C-alpha cells in the first residue's frame, strides 16, 4: 500500500512486498511506481479519461453552484412566498441532509458499484432541484432542498472516488487542483448567475439550470466509466451487503449531526443559548456521537468509520485540517459578499463580480500547486503554505473599513484564494496516497464531512458573533435605530428601511460604521481562528475552546 513519509512524499510500495518504502526514495523514481497502483486498478484510455473528467468537473461545478446560488435569490423567493421566517431553512435543510448522509455514502461506495452509487446520487440531486424549481410554496422548496442535499453528499464524494479509479496517482494532484478550482469557480460566479436569473427571468431558473448540467454528467459517467473489479463484492449477495452497511451507525450519526446543526442554527437567534431546546439538542448530539464512536470501536468490521483508518496519523489529522479549512472558506464566502452589499452598497450581482479576485487566486494556485506536487511528489509543504496565506489574508480583511480602497480588497482576496488553492486539495491527496484502494471511499467521505461540518459550525458561531456585536454596537452608538429593524431589513435594504430614523447624515455614517465594524471584524475574525492550520501560531483574538488545540495538533502530520 502507499506510504507517506514525515515530509509528505507521495510514495508507492510495490505490490506484494511487505518491506516499508525507504524514505530516501526520490520523487522522480517514485513516479514510475505509481502507475502500478495497488489493488490492480485498470485505468481507462485517454479519450475516456478526458470525457470522464469533464463530467466530474461539471458535477463538482454543479454542487458548488447549488450550494451558494440560493443566497442571492432569497429576496425574490421571499417576495413570492411571503415567508421570511423560512429563509434560514432554505440553506439549513440542504446542509443537514448533506452532512447527515456524508459518511454513510462512504459505506455505500465501498459495498456497492461506484457507478451505480454516483448515478443514483446525481438522480436524487436532480429530483430535489426539480422539486425546488416547481415548488408552489415555501414548504415544498424546503423539502426540495432537503432532497437535493441527500444527493449532493453522494455526488461530491463520488467525484473524488471516481477520480481515484480513473486517474493514476501521479496525475491526481493536477487533476485534483482543477476539480477543486471548479468548485471555487462555481461559488464565485453563483451570485452573479443567481442575480441575473432572478432579475431577468425568475428565481426558479436557479434550480432549473441544474437539470441539463447534471443530465450531461449522468450520461457521460453511465456510458464511459466502468466499475472497478472487486471479486470480494461480486461474491456477496445483496442481503450480505445490506447487513454490512452499518445501519446502526447511520441511525446514530445522522440524528447526532442533525441535532448539532439545529442547535447551531437556532442558538442565539431563534432561541437563547440557555434555552432548554438548545441544551437538549447539544446533549443529544454529543451522546449520539459518543454512541456512534463506541459502535465503530466495538464492531471493528463493517462500520462507517473504521477506527483503524482514524488511527493513521495522516488521515486523522487531514480530517482535522479539512474541518479547519472548511470553516475558513465558508466564513469568507458568506461574509465578504455581505460586506460588499451592506458597507460598499453594491448589488448582489456586483458583489459577485467583486469576488472574482478570490476566484483568480484560487484557480491559479490550485492548478499550479497540482502541477508542482505532480512533479515533486510532496504535498504537505503546500498545506503549510496554504494555511499561512489564508491566515495572513483573513487577518488583513479584519482591517476593512467603509473607506477601504479597491486595491486592498482585491489584493487580500487574491492572497486568500492562493491559500485555499494550495491547501484545499491536499487532504484528499493524503487519503488517496496513504489508504489502500478499498478504504479510499471511507477516507474521502470523512474529509468532505469534516469540511462541511467545519463550515456549518463556524458560520453559525460567526453569525452569533455578528448579530450580538451589531446589536450591542448600534444600541451604544446609534440609539435612535432599532437593531431588530436593521437585522430584519437585510444586507441590501437596511439603508432604506431605517432612513426615517437616521435623519441626519452623521447618524447614517454612524450606522454604516457600526455595520462595518461588526461585519468584517467579527465573522472574518472568526476566520482567523479556523484557518490556523499546520505551520501557523494558533493564538487568536477571540478564542473558541478546543479550536486552538485541534489546530496545533496538525503539526504532527509533518
Tens-digit pLDDT profile for residues 205-218? 989 999 999 999 99
For the whole model, what pTM was predicted?
Answer: 0.74
Tell me if 518 sits within 8 A of 473, measured CB to CB.
yes
pLDDT at residue 77 above 50? yes
pLDDT at residue 554 above 50? no
How many other C-beta atoms lie within 10 A of the C-beta of residue 379?
A: 27
Grid coordinates representing 193 are: 448567475
Mean pLDDT, residues 38-61 taken together: 80
Tell me if 270 sits within 8 A of 487, measured CB to CB.
no
Residue 94: band (very low, low, confident or very high) from pLDDT cuts 50, 70, 90: confident
- The more confident residue out of 115 and 239 is 115
- At 509-518, the pLDDT tens digits run 555 455 444 4
Q: Out of 28-37, 89-98, 540-549, which region has the weakest mean confidence (pLDDT)?
A: 540-549
Mean pLDDT, residues 171-185 taken together: 77
How many other C-beta atoms lie within 10 A of the C-beta of residue 501?
A: 15
pLDDT value of position 506: 47
Q: Out of 5-14, 251-260, 360-369, 537-546, which region has the weakest mean confidence (pLDDT)?
A: 537-546
Burial class of residue 555, CB neighbours in 10 A (0-12, 13-18, 19+)? middle
> CA 446, CA 423: separation in Å to the nearest integer?
17
pLDDT value of position 85: 64
Mean pLDDT, residues 213-231 taken together: 85
- At 305-315, the pLDDT tens digits run 888 888 888 88
Mean pLDDT, residues 18-31 taken together: 34
- The more confident residue out of 153 and 343 is 153
What is the overall mean pLDDT for the chain? 75
Residue 543: band (very low, low, confident or very high) from pLDDT cuts 50, 70, 90: very low
pLDDT at residue 544 above 50? no
Mean pLDDT, residues 449-474 taken together: 78
pLDDT at residue 505 above 60? no
- The more confident residue out of 537 and 170 is 170
The residue behind cell 487531514 is 318
pLDDT value of position 377: 77
pLDDT value of position 129: 93
Mean pLDDT, residues 150-179 taken together: 83
Tell me if 73 sits within 8 A of 198, measured CB to CB.
yes
pLDDT value of position 339: 80
Grid coordinates representing 83 are: 415567508
Q: Rounded to the nearest 5°, which phi and psi values hold at 226?
A: -105, 135
pLDDT value of position 492: 56
Share of the chain above pLDDT 70, in %: 76
Q: Out of 25-29, 44-48, 119-123, 270-274, which region has the weakest mean confidence (pLDDT)?
A: 25-29
Length of the chain: 558
pLDDT value of position 314: 85
pLDDT value of position 128: 94
Mean pLDDT, residues 136-142 taken together: 90
Residue 280: band (very low, low, confident or very high) from pLDDT cuts 50, 70, 90: very high
pLDDT value of position 532: 35
Tell me if 320 sits within 8 A of 554, measured CB to CB.
yes
pLDDT value of position 117: 92
Instruction: Tell me which residue of 352, 359, 324, 360 sits closest to 336, measured CA to CA.
Output: 352
Residues 6+ apart with CB under 8 A from 115: 221, 222, 225, 226, 227
pLDDT value of position 132: 92
pLDDT at residue 290 above 90? yes
Tell me if 94 sits within 8 A of 179, measured CB to CB.
no
Q: Out of 140-149, 247-256, 284-293, which region has the weakest mean confidence (pLDDT)?
A: 247-256
Virtual torsion, Cα 294, 298, 303, 305, nearest 10 deg:
50
pLDDT at residue 271 above 70? yes
Residue 176: band (very low, low, confident or very high) from pLDDT cuts 50, 70, 90: confident
pLDDT at residue 549 above 70? no
Instruction: Count helices and strands (H / E) in the chain.
Output: 25, 2
Q: Out of 112-126, 430-444, 516-530, which region has the weakest mean confidence (pLDDT)?
A: 516-530
Residues 6+ apart with CB under 8 A from 405: none
Residue 491: band (very low, low, confident or very high) from pLDDT cuts 50, 70, 90: low
Share of the chain above pLDDT 90, in %: 15
Amino acid at each position: 500500500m502507499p506510504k507517506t513519509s514525515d515530509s509528505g512524499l507521495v510514495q508507492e510500495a510495490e505490490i506484494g512486498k511487505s518491506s516499508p518504502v525507504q524514505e530516501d526514495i526520490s520523487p522522480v523514481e517514485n513516479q514510475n511506481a505509481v502507475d502500478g497502483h495497488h489493488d490492480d486498478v485498470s485505468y481507462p484510455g485517454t479519450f475516456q479519461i478526458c470525457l470522464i473528467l469533464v463530467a466530474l468537473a461539471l458535477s463538482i461545478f454543479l454542487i458548488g453552484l447549488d450550494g451558494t446560488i440560493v443566497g442571492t435569490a432569497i429576496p425574490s423567493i421571499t417576495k413570492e412566498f411571503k415567508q421570511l421566517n423560512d429563509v434560514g431553512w432554505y440553506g439549513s435543510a440542504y446542509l443537514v441532509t448533506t452532512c447527515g448522509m456524508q459518511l454513510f455514502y462512504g459505506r455505500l461506495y465501498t459495498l456497492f458499484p461506484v457507478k451505480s452509487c454516483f448515478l443514483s446520487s446525481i438522480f436524487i440531486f436532480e429530483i430535489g432541484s426539480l422539486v425546488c424549481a416547481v415548488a408552489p410554496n415555501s414548504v415544498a422548496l424546503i423539502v426540495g432542498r432537503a432532497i437535493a442535499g441527500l444527493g449532493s453528499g453522494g455526488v461530491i464524494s463520488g467525484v473524488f472516488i471516481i477520480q481515484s479509479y480513473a486517474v493514476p496517482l501521479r496525475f491526481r494532484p493536477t487533476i485534483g487542483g482543477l476539480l477543486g478550482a471548479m468548485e471555487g469557480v462555481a461559488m464565485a460566479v453563483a451570485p452573479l448567475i443567481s442575480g441575473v436569473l432572478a432579475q431577468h427571468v425568475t428565481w426558479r431558473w436557479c434550480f432549473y439550470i441544474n437539470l441539463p448540467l447534471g443530465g450531461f454528467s449522468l450520461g457521460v459517467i453511465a456510458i464511459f466509466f466502468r466499475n472497478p473489479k472487486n471479486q470480494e463484492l461480486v461474491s456477496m449477495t445483496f442481503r450480505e451487503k445490506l447487513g454490512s452497511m452499518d445501519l446502526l451507525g447511520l441511525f446514530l450519526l445522522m440524528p447526532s449531526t442533525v441535532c448539532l446543526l439545529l442547535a447551531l442554527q437556532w442558538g442565539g437567534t431563534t432561541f437563547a443559548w440557555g434555552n432548554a431546546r438548545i441544551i437538549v439538542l447539544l446533549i443529544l448530539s454529543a451522546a449520539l456521537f459518543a454512541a456512534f464512536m463506541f459502535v465503530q470501536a466495538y464492531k471493528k468490521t463493517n462500520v462507517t468509520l473504521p477506527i483503524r483508518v482514524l488511527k493513521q496519523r495522516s488521515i486523522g489529522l487531514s480530517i482535522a485540517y479539512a474541518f479547519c479549512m472548511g470553516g475558513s472558506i465558508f466564513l469568507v464566502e458568506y461574509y465578504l459578499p455581505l460586506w460588499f452589499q451592506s458597507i460598499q452598497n453594491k448589488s448582489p450581482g456586483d458583489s459577485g463580480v467583486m469576488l472574482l479576485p478570490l476566484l483568480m487566486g484560487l484557480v491559479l494556485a490550485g492548478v499550479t500547486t497540482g502541477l508542482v506536487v505532480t512533479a515533486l511528489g510532496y504535498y504537505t509543504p503546500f498545506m503549510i503554505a496554504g494555511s499561512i496565506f489564508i491566515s495572513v489574508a483573513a487577518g488583513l480583511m479584519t482591517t476593512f473599513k467603509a473607506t477601504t480602497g479597491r486595491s486592498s480588497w482585491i489584493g487580500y482576496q487574491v492572497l486568500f484564494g492562493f491559500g485555499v488553492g494550495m491547501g484545499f486539495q491536499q487532504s484528499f491527496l493524503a487519503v488517496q496516497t496513504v489508504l489502500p484502494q478499498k478504504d479510499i471511499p471511507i477516507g474521502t467521505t470523512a474529509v468532505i464531512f469534516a469540511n462541511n461540518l467545519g463550515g456549518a459550525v463556524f458560520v453559525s458561531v460567526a453569525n452569533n458573533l455578528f448579530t450580538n456585536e451589531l446589536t450591542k454596537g448600534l444600541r451604544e452608538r446609534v440609539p435612535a435605530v432599532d437593531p431588530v429593524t436593521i437585522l430584519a431589513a437585510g444586507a441590501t435594504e437596511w439603508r432604506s428601511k431605517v432612513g426615517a430614523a437616521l435623519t441626519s447624515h452623521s447618524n447614517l455614517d454612524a450606522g454604516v460604521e457600526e455595520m462595518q465594524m461588526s461585519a468584517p471584524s467579527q465573522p472574518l475574525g472568526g476566520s482567523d481562528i479556523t484557518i490556523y492550520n499546520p505551520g501557523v501560531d494558533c493564538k487568536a483574538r477571540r478564542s473558541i475552546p478546543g479550536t486552538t488545540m485541534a489546530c496545533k495538533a496538525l503539526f504532527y502530520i509533518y
